[in-house]
Amino acid sequence: MTRRVHDIGGLSVGEIDPSDYAVETWQKRINATFTTMIFGNLLRLDELRRAMEDLGAERYDRLEYFERQTQGFVDLLIEKGVLGQAEIESRMAEIKKRTGG
């Protein structure tokens, strides 16, 4: 059986920092948005996990958890035809302009 990118059981991955960190506003927003989509029956948690695992080893390892979650979420929206790439990029530009970053 082929090992999936998220399956690191038994591998040496180095030190793990167990300390808590402050959750950033954008992380709270993406989590709230995804939760809303789940309760609205537009997406399922298993779909998000699959989309995150499908990012490929290089992207999966480079991104932090909320970044993987966000990219998986975006990929699912495009895959399901909810939004297109151009619409997502346009909305992201609007948010960046409004929030200054």
Residue 66 and residue 98: Cα distance in Å, rounded?
Answer: 21
Contacts of 57 (CB under 8 A, 6+ apart): 5
Q: Is the pTM of this model over 0.85?
A: no
Q: Residue with structure tokens 């939004």?
A: 83
Which residue type occupies 80? K
Give the pLDDT confidence of 38-92 residue by residue, as tens digits: 899 888 999 998 999 899 889 988 999 899 999 999 999 999 998 999 999 999 8
